[in-house]
């Protein structure tokens, strides 16, 4: 099933609604999923350390957001930034293709 079909079934028909829906989805992934992925990737690659837990990484992330930590903001805004980068690269790829006359 195409991604546009899924968005249309959710009622996101206009382009602005689709962009807002994708932005909300990316921000939700940054707030909810990224800290868990970072925790498990770090535990797998480096091993667990004393005091490490999933609730602790959420606590440190949200404290970092409150105090303006750049690393915390990168974690939260990372999925949306990757979406924008992918979109820009796709537009650039289409624009640099062979010209059809």
Distance separating alpha carbons of residues 65 and 73, to the nearest angstrom: 6
Against a cut of 0.75, is the pTM above it?
A: no
Q: Could you tell me the residue range of the domain that residue 60 belongs to? A: 23-94
Split at pLDDT 50, 70, 90, the class of 61 is: very high
H or E segment to which residue 28 belongs = helix 15-32
17: in domain? no
Number of independent structural domains in the chain: 1
15: in domain? no
10: in domain? no
35: in domain? yes
9: in domain? no
33: in domain? yes
Are 7 and 18 in contact by the 8 Å Cβ rule? The answer is: yes
Q: pLDDT tens digits, residue range 35-55?
A: 999 999 988 998 888 888 899
């Amino acid at each position: 099933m195409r991604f546009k079909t899924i968005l249309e079934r959710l009622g996101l028909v206009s382009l602005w609604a689709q962009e807002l829906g994708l932005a909300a989805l990316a921000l939700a992934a940054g707030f909810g999923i990224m800290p868990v992925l970072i925790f498990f990737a770090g535990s797998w690659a480096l091993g667990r350390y004393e005091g490490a837990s999933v609730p602790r990484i959420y606590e440190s992330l949200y404290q970092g957001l409150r105090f303006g930590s750049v690393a915390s903001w990168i974690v939260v805004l990372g999925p949306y930034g990757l979406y924008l980068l992918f979109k820009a690269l796709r537009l650039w790829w289409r624009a640099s293709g062979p010209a059809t006359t």
